[in-house]
Amino acid sequence: MAQTYLHYTQESAPLWRLIFEYQMPEGSSFPDWWIEKVNESFALIEEKIRPEFGGTEEELACVARLFWMGLHGISMLALSGRISATSSKPAEVLVQDLHNYLLAGHK
């Protein structure tokens, strides 16, 4: 799933940027339907990592969000061509490392 996200960001960069670089007007908040969609996305991550996770449901929710934040950061660095400034590893390997190391701490 993480590798698919990474490849999507590279193959659909204009759409991905539109979604994640959009600035909400000051003082506005996300609509309820948006928050619901975001939570559904995190539920998919939780479902995927639950079998290899050894923590509580609250910790699972936290780790799923941390994983996505790390994945998002790696994707942004890869898309901007700046990943080589922080690592000699390609983005695909970093995503796998993120998965392995983050979950290893919760077994």
Mean pLDDT by 10 residues, the chain (107 residues): 86 85 88 93 92 89 93 92 92 92 73
pTM above 0.85, yes or no: no
- Distance between CA 14 and CA 32 in Å, rounded? 25
Contacts of 101 (CB under 8 A, 6+ apart): none
- Distance between CA 75 and CA 82 in Å, rounded? 10
